[in-house]
Structure 1
Amino acid sequence: MVAQQTGRYSKYIRPISVSLDVLVITILSLFFFRELNLNMVYYILYQTFVWFFIAFIVRFYDVYRFTTPVEIISKLVRQAALFLLVVIAFFPFAKTAIFSGKAIAIFMSCSFVIIILFKYFLFYYLKRYRIITQNNFRSAIIIGYTPEALRLKEVFESRKDYGYRFEGYFSDKKQNAEIKGKVDDLKEFVLEKNIDEIYCSLNEISNEKLKELVEFADDNKKQIKFIPDSKEIFSKNLKIDYYELFPVLSLQKTQLHNPTIKGIKRGFDILFSLLVIIFILSWMMPLIAILIKLESKGPIFFKQGRPGLDENEFYCYKFRSMHVNGTTEKEASRNDPRVTKMGRFMRKTSLDELPQFFNVLIGDMSVVGPRPHLWSQNKSYASKIKKYMVRHYVKPGITGLAQVKGYRGEIETDDDMINRVKFDVFYIENWSIIMDIKIIIQTVINIFKGEEKAY
């Protein structure tokens, strides 16, 4: 089974922007600093790290279709000022380096002129592209028929460069030609019309329906935003954006949606997977391969399609721990006759999972994250367990918080899966690099201690 691909080409804009910025400062530093007697390898690594760190602090890449030019200029100024300071700060620690204020000034000027021109071109080209071609639009609906809802519709229709296509109102309190139906009719409409964003006037909907709507948005990967009004807001952590002077509230995304954090986590994954592949798999893989082949016929590796990021399928690799069979969508159980003697040892020690570090290296998985389930499990539990689909907001992991808390292996009852999902969602919403390191350490400890459900 292959999940349907979702999303737009616009998801590539930010990675392209980040890559070009890093490429610009790298090339220009190599050119302008070539005579300053710097160790360029160390300097480039330092420069790249601090660029990402500053970008994270000033939210340099948090630019959206409704971000104002003033906000963009403010981000550029803060990024440039802080980056200049850390570039200068490198020289006192490089004993052989020759400090040149002129070279640094020219480097900074050229770098940010190019970056500003690129940002200007990208920002305004996308706005003109939406207006002229009517592409890259997001479809939106509004719950409620309040004055605030009417004003938001006017913003959508007057600012075509924002790239929104208004599809109608939903309301339980009023009925007219503009209202598509009641709030209960919304879910079917959203799925049928593939609506991207749901805007909700909070005084038009009860707390119970609001909770149900948030869960619906989570399960179907739709974005929900809130139109502020006189009703007090006590619910989740909200952030405010402005479409011109019109305020819109949206649920805060997790840190793992932040491009800089994603870059840090990806860098950690690459480094960690390379260390494992070079220092462990390089010598262990031939030994395990021989032992697998001596015991049973079949391939050394077992690969299986699993749902990954955004429920897109990828092939998850393991050392083969079972006799070749036709029941690969059935998870292993205690004393499973399909498992070989060597396979039982590998599963007990988690050695069968080691090839997944190649999945990490190529970008299908992360070292830490929700474990990838079978497609059959996804199909069975997606509609039964609240927030189950939130697991697919991030890359699956070799190990995860649920696993180190004891929820690994066979799913014997629905409670096993419910608890696993709770820990996975907690991890996604509360991620930190310290948490990743703790999970890795606890995983290693658990391997040596042995786990009851590792079979």
Structure 2
Amino acid sequence: MEQGWIRSRRGGITALYRLFDVLLIQGVLYASLAHFEVTPGKDWIIAGLLAAISFAFIAESVELYRSWRGETFKRILGTVAVAWVAVCIFLILLAFSFNAFAADYMRPAAAAWLVFTFFGLAFWRFCLRQFLFSIRLHGRNTRRAVIIGCTDSGYKLAKDLAANPQLGIHVDGFYEVPEFKDRISCIGDTSRFPILGSVDDAVEKGRSGKLDVVFIALPMRAEDVISETLDKFSDTTATVHILPNFFVAKMLHARWHQVGSSSLLSVFDTPIQGFDGWLKRLEDLVLATIILALISPVLLLVAAAVKFSSPGPVIFKQRRYGLDGQTIYVWKFRSMTAMDDGDKVEQAKEGDQRITSVGRVLRRTSLDELPQFFNVLQGTMSIVGPRPHAVAHNEEYRSRVNGYMLRHKVKPGITGLAQIKGFRGETDTLDKMSRRVEYDLEYIRRWSILLDLRIIFLTIYRGFYHKNAY
């Protein structure tokens, strides 16, 4: 009865979410004004209303109020951040346009409002999430699910859901498809996930209202069967998901596109485009400007050390592949007596005689990479992304490592997920390069501003020194 009550009132609950957000935005505003002893005049009232209305629209457009069951809190936090940052930018531009909130004593109040509202929006969602986890562990607010198709991927999903009871999705069992009786894994554990019958039995269960979620775990070659199964479940109120098989799981970034009346599913695509691309570019510009301002004395000292320690230019430019495989020139402090940039480039090795005395220190500490922040401002690189390799190395490994060139679906970075995982420096074996590429592609699949900030933090926290950087 209680679970049906929750489901039947889902629309009312999401309306409460929206109302709570509006109240929180207004509440933090007036609390900030009270703290800084600012009178809440007409301008502030208008600002509060505009913030609440614009947040409601933007939150709806980024699907903040959809069900987040099964999603990570990082995804929720990222979506909240995108919505509220967009509101902040809108309000700031509006304030400057009308010269509002210009008085010095008003600025702290506005800053406190914008900052603490974000923390409030994130915190109450975290508390709600923990509350839902708690009641689901006690058998409430749960969903009954079944899996169509006795396949390895279906069995793996069943085990994953069972291992995460806080999600509140209980798998009753499997239903067979006569044409695809791939009982490879299911038969071995029928006591835990029994085979309950055929697809028609599952449909009948859905029609009777005893089924909430259906996972179709059939191979992609079963297109006709999947289509027929979907048609049958269209006569129920169950939520239906298609579980990607091996082929779909290899997608870099899946997205549906509409061309006229034709629907297209992208296979190898980038998540960093449109609004997200603009957001990442803003991140790069702001952080690169701040970092360059902070490290400018270091840049001058390193440049002087390179200039007076050995003959040759201070800056070494090497051709690399950038976004979409376009040739770019990456800047580095010169650390070698040789400056290879041809069809064959020999990677630096331990004890390499080409490395200068100053260059050895620069490479160990990654100080030779600092000029790449100018590449970031130029727009050819990003602060976070797959590390760019020499063109010669790209040509060598693109045919030897599966998916190698997909790392160029985003801008190359000064640091990246592979680097904080320890894959930095010489890649003297095919396995090392393969592992580096795996992390690069994982970064592209998982990309978010929060992931970027985490990588930047860990790069600084763990230090720039690395024993594998020769």
| C-alpha distance in structure 2 between counterparts of 1:271 and 1:291, whole Å | 28
For 1:11, the equivalent position in structure 2 comes to: none
Out of 293, 300, 303, the position equivalent to 2:314 is: 300
> How far off its partner does 1:90 sit?
7.6
For 2:383, the equivalent position in structure 1 comes to: 367
> How far off its partner does 1:364 sit?
0.4
Equivalence map 1:9-408=2 (5 Å): 58=61, 94=101, 206=221, 229-230=227-228, 233-235=242-244, 236=248, 240=256, 246=261, 248-251=263-266, 256-280=271-295, 282-326=296-340, 329-408=345-424
Structure 1 residues 337 and 404, CA gap change in structure 2 (3 angstroms): same
> How far off its partner does 1:54 sit?
6.3
* Letter of the structure 1 residue corresponding to residue 265 of structure 2: S
For 2:451, the equivalent position in structure 1 comes to: 435
Contact 2:384/2:413 (8 A) holds in 1: yes
Aligned length: 265
1:250 is paired with a residue of what secondary structure?
strand
> How far off its partner does 1:297 sit?
0.4
> How far off its partner does 1:239 sit?
5.3
Q: Deviations over 1:389-424 (max 9, x none)?
A: 210110000000001111111111100011001000
Contact 1:38/1:96 (8 A) holds in 2: no
- Normalization by structure 2: what TM-score? 0.49
Structure 1 residues 267 and 338, CA gap change in structure 2 (3 angstroms): same
* Letter of the structure 2 residue corresponding to residue 387 of structure 1: G
1:306 is paired with a residue of what secondary structure?
strand
| C-alpha distance in structure 1 between counterparts of 2:255 and 2:337, whole Å | 53
| C-alpha distance in structure 2 between counterparts of 1:242 and 1:230, whole Å | 23
Structure 1 residues 38 and 310, CA gap change in structure 2 (3 angstroms): farther
Structure 1 residues 325 and 393, CA gap change in structure 2 (3 angstroms): closer
Could you list the runs of 5+ residues in structure 2 that have no partner in the other structure? Answer: 1-40, 64-82, 105-217, 231-241
* Letter of the structure 2 residue corresponding to residue 94 of structure 1: F
Structure of higher RCO (CA pairs closer than 8 Å, 6+ residues apart) = 1
Higher-Rg member (1/2): 2
| C-alpha distance in structure 2 between counterparts of 1:325 and 1:285, whole Å | 20
| C-alpha distance in structure 2 between counterparts of 1:269 and 1:319, whole Å | 21
| C-alpha distance in structure 2 between counterparts of 1:390 and 1:454, whole Å | 25
Structure 1 residues 423 and 96, CA gap change in structure 2 (3 angstroms): same
1:334 is paired with a residue of what secondary structure?
coil
> How far off its partner does 1:242 sit?
5.2
2:373 is paired with a residue of what secondary structure?
helix
1:256 is paired with a residue of what secondary structure?
coil
| C-alpha distance in structure 1 between counterparts of 2:273 and 2:93, whole Å | 27
| C-alpha distance in structure 1 between counterparts of 2:55 and 2:267, whole Å | 21
Structure 1 residues 419 and 229, CA gap change in structure 2 (3 angstroms): same
Structure 1 residues 335 and 445, CA gap change in structure 2 (3 angstroms): farther
Contact 2:386/2:417 (8 A) holds in 1: yes
For 1:154, the equivalent position in structure 2 comes to: none
| C-alpha distance in structure 2 between counterparts of 1:330 and 1:345, whole Å | 19
Contact 1:385/1:418 (8 A) holds in 2: yes
2:414 is paired with a residue of what secondary structure?
strand
Contact 1:323/1:340 (8 A) holds in 2: yes
| C-alpha distance in structure 2 between counterparts of 1:343 and 1:431, whole Å | 33
| C-alpha distance in structure 1 between counterparts of 2:289 and 2:92, whole Å | 32
Contact 2:318/2:330 (8 A) holds in 1: yes
Contact 1:371/1:399 (8 A) holds in 2: yes
Contact 1:348/1:454 (8 A) holds in 2: yes
Identity %: 37
For 1:3, the equivalent position in structure 2 comes to: none
> How far off its partner does 1:95 sit?
8.1
Q: List 4+ stretches of structure 1 deviating above 4 A.
A: 36-39, 50-57, 86-91, 203-207, 228-233, 237-244, 252-255, 325-328
| C-alpha distance in structure 2 between counterparts of 1:325 and 1:288, whole Å | 18
Contact 2:268/2:406 (8 A) holds in 1: no
Could you list the runs of 5+ residues in structure 1 that have no partner in the other structure? Answer: 1-35, 61-78, 98-202, 211-225
RMSD over equivalenced CA pairs, Å: 4.3
* Letter of the structure 1 residue corresponding to residue 361 of structure 2: F
* Letter of the structure 1 residue corresponding to residue 374 of structure 2: F
> How far off its partner does 1:94 sit?
3.5
